[in-house]
Amino acid sequence: MALTEAQARRALRHADIPWDAKINDPRASSWVVHAHLGILGGLAAAFAVGCSNLRRAEDFFSDLGIGTRRALGLGRGTPCDTTFYRLLVGQSPTGFEETVFQQVKQLIAGRVVKNDHFRMGVMNFDGKGTWSRAGGEEVDGARQSWCDEEGTSLQTVGALRAVLASSSVCPCVSQKIIGSKEGESPAFRELFPKVCHHLGAHFQIVTGDAGLCARENAELVSDHDRFYLYGLKGNQPHLLELAQQHGRYFSRGRKPLARTEERYRANTIVRELYACTVAGDPQVDMKDARQFFYVNQTTYGPDGDPCAVELRYFVTSLPEGMLTRDEELALVRLMWAIENGCNWTMDMVLGEDDSQPCQANKTSIETVSWLRIIGYNALSAWRRLLPAKDRKPASWRRATQTLRDALVVDWFDDVLRQGVT
């Protein structure tokens, strides 16, 4: 696909990151050669185009076009991978969260990010591993466990991330790093108010898996005038048992309230929604809980015979009638938008699970994680604006290739003189 001048300008806008003033430069003056924010922006761009290690990022920097260098504030020289590493080792993550919030706000203001997948905005929260290492020197603040019978230590750092699942861009709006002696539910209670403060006008529904289903979390969401939808599993045995009891009654011999059918790898997947109202039920001791949802998912093989059946339970504060039943089933499916969109892309396209460019300490791991989020958001927005093929968005691999082409190309002097508009 030949790149147009408009696409090149759009790529330069993605390279112009709204850095927060609290991001400090940790470098000693004796080795400051390249612009601090230019290096950080270049690393975010490198992650966005699939450069999973610092050596590949160095090669990417050397290929950058003049327009991209100007947008990043870089000179003509190329920083080496050692320069990147030394910067990341000392870089504080302070200010990166505000930068990501501002990046998403700019995408919303430019109408790149909008609630085109669900009319009521949906913010999805989910935990994800950002770094792991078997053996090696202990990283302060990482969670320690053992991965084999010989007692080899496994060190991990995770994060609770928030994405705007109701947008086809599915931007990651923030995260809370989870280290040792921390969990997802406490992280949610710290992260959610920040997301509401910055982007509360753009979502009304909060979704999360069973790990976030807690009475404190439900109360927090309701107190912020939002609706919640949480998965139910064994960590809430009382609610799960109630949901199962209601489910056996309401689904026995009854038609589903909503039904979808889709083809996937020669199989047919059928999802059926059942629901019951529990508003005012004293046994359901979760603030503002109004309905139980049950989704029966049946997978049929190529021969038409069922090969897998799965029943999932949910509790929600959405009152009956606020959404259509089809919308309620669509909302349940949106709970996996963060897994199928953000998390899958970060792992399979941007290599977050496979490559850790700097793991000297927990702060460097967190800094890299923020830079990858910035890169992911830029890549996802770029992909959203690429021409569709067969009514489907361009593949992620294609998006990384075309974004790289746009950032490394040198445009004519008259184009550069006009600046990025």
For the chain, the structural domain boundaries read 5-98+358-418, 232-326
Q: Residues 295-315: what's their mean pLDDT?
A: 89
pLDDT score, position 223:
97
What pLDDT does 77 receive? 80
Of 331, 335, 372, the C-alpha closest to 351 is 372
What is the percent of the chain where pLDDT is above 90?
A: 59
What's the helix, strand, coil split of the chain in %, to 5? 45, 20, 35
Q: Calculate the CA 87 to chain-centre distance.
A: 25
CB 327 within 8 A of CB 138: no
Distance CA 174, CA 373 (A): 8
User: Which of 28-32, 210-214, 265-269, 292-296 shows the lowest mean pLDDT across its residues?
Assistant: 28-32
The predicted-structure confidence for 237-269, as pLDDT tens digits, reads as follows: 999 999 998 877 766 768 899 999 988 888 899
At 33, which amino acid appears? V
Give the mean pLDDT of 265-286.
91
69 pLDDT band (50/70/90 cuts)?
confident
- Residue 200, both tokens: 């509360």
Mean pLDDT of 124-134: 86
Q: For the residues 308-335, what does the mean pLDDT come to?
A: 94
Could you tell me the pLDDT band of residue 118, with boundaries at 50, 70 and 90? Answer: very high
Instruction: Give me the DSSP letters along 93-126.
Output: -TTHHHHHHHHHHHHHHTTSS---S-SS-EEEEE
Q: Summarize pLDDT for 393-421 with one digit per residue, the tens.
A: 889 999 999 999 888 876 544 444 455 44
